[in-house]
């Protein structure tokens, strides 16, 4: 990953207006924020710039509006951000134009304002040069602190970096450093834990990882597809039988690259998918036709834990079983706690992210014990696929 400027490289901020692209796209119900993780992630950047005397103008999208749409206004989010920041936050009801410029100019130094939803303008998602130029008129510097939106080449995530001196915010900086440490220039051996329901959603992830890691640990429903490709009858388990050839190709690539693929040899099976369903442990060669695999078994988890103990770096994406319902959360919880203990012991760097991963690790109670947990979904997945993220590329110099 080429170099990028951080806030530490920014010229004096006092009296300047800094456009900060944050991710304020938080879950809302009845005007109340359901999860303020993304708001808290923006605090270090916003507060730091404001304390240095900048006028901080926060840009973000919210929802998927088609034009102006009151229910997708950022006004209630601005109030919630004020609560998280512990300081006043002004709300400006557009993100471009004369009125927005005047409202920003009227703010005192060190003030914070949230500008209205960038997606109220079609030019945002189109990355329209004219819209980018209008946004750029409002600020002196640009800070991108929204890694979770970095996989989109939109006006506020990519275009602005070409108009103003551009810097990575504190959250973006932390993400990029963690990702570089995990797959860019990692300490070896490297393990990747990849779970989730379907191989089809992670073909590119798996294909990229076999060339980058020493151990690829596959769990979740996708493990069934790999087992089936090896000729194992997985009963009525979730399995993409049409992707057996893809699974075999990934295994062949892994072998050629010297990457060990770990698949479970014991599993937990049940006849129905519900909490506390009657279940049993089984060898993978002993799955009945009316049973489904809902978790990997204790012996397989122990083998994965033993492999992790030999590693220096671990990238984690996805649960190992149906972690949402007990007792099929056991493998995910057990391996997550092993990884957390190794991290706390100083022998393993752990970086996790994407979709269900954050929820699964929170369920295991290890959120604070991993080296880094990314709250980005799509961007984290595209990074694991080895794709260039437009919002990150734009910051590089």
Q: Is 230 a catalytic residue?
A: no
Binding-site residues for substrate sit at 23-25, 38, 61-64, 119, 152
| Catalytic annotation, pick one of 198, 236, 253, 309 | 198
| Catalytic annotation, pick one of 38, 55, 170, 244 | 38
Distance, first Cα to last Cα, the chain? 10
Binding-site residues for (2R)-3-phosphoglycerate sit at 38, 119, 152
Q: Is 87 a catalytic residue?
A: no
Q: Is 378 a catalytic residue?
A: yes
Binding-site residues for ATP sit at 202, 324, 354-357
Closest by alpha carbon to 164, among 52, 50, 85, 59? 59
Closest by alpha carbon to 150, among 354, 393, 349, 389? 389
Helices (H), 210-264: 220-229, 244-257
Judge whether 61 and 46 are in contact, CB under 8 Å: no
What is the C-alpha to C-alpha distance for residues 358 and 354, in angstroms, rounded to an integer?
Answer: 7
The residue to which tokens 């794709």 are assigned: 387
Residue 254: other Cβ atoms inside 10 A: 20
Binding-site residues sit at 23-25, 38, 61-64, 119, 152, 202, 324, 354-357
| Catalytic annotation, pick one of 53, 97, 110, 355 | 355
Report in angstroms the alpha-carbon separations of 6 from 49, 84, 97, 137, 174: 12, 23, 28, 22, 10
Q: Is 355 a catalytic residue?
A: yes
Stated length of the chain = 397
Q: Any idea which residues carry the catalytic annotation?
A: 38, 198, 355, 378
């Amino acid at each position: 990953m080429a170099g990028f400027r951080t806030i530490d490289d920014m010229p004096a901020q006092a009296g300047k207006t800094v456009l900060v692209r944050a991710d304020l796209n938080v879950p809302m119900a009845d005007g109340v924020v359901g999860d303020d993780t993304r708001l808290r992630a923006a605090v270090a950047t916003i507060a730091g710039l404001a304390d240095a005397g900048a006028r901080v103008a926060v840009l973000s999208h919210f929802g998927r509006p088609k034009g102006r749409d009151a229910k997708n206004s950022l006004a209630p989010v601005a109030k919630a951000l004020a609560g998280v920041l512990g300081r006043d936050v002004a709300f400006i009801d557009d993100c471009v134009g004369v009125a927005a410029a005047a409202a920003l100019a009227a703010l005192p130094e060190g003030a914070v304002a949230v500008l209205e939803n960038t997606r109220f303008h079609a030019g945002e998602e189109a990355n329209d040069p004219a819209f980018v130029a209008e946004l750029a008129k409002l600020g002196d510097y640009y800070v991108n602190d929204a890694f979770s939106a970095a996989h989109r080449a939109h006006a506020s995530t990519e275009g602005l970096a070409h108009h103003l001196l551009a810097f990575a915010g504190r959250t973006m900086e932390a993400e990029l450093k963690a990702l570089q440490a995990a797959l860019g220039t990692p300490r070896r051996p490297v393990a990747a834990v990849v779970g989730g329901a379907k191989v089809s959603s992670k073909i590119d992830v798996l294909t990229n990882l076999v060339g980058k890691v020493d151990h690829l640990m596959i769990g979740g429903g996708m493990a069934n597809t790999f087992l089936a490709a090896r000729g194992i009858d997985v009963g009525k388990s979730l399995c993409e039988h049409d992707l057996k050839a893809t699974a075999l190709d990934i295994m062949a690539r892994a072998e050629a690259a010297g990457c060990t693929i770990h698949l479970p040899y014991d599993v937990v099976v049940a006849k129905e998918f519900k909490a506390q369903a009657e279940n049993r442990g089984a060898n993978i060669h002993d799955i009945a036709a009316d049973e489904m695999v809902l978790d990997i078994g204790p012996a397989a988890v122990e083998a994965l834990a033993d492999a992790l103990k030999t590693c220096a770096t671990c990238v984690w994406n996805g649960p190992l079983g149906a972690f949402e319902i007990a007792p099929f959360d056991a493998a995910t919880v057990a391996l997550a706690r092993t990884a957390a203990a190794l991290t706390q012991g100083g022998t393993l760097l752990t970086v996790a992210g994407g979709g269900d991963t954050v929820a699964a690790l929170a369920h295991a109670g290890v959120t604070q014990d991993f080296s880094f947990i990314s709250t980005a979904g799509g961007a984290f997945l595209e990074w694991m696929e080895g794709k260039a993220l437009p919002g990150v590329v734009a910051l590089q110099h």
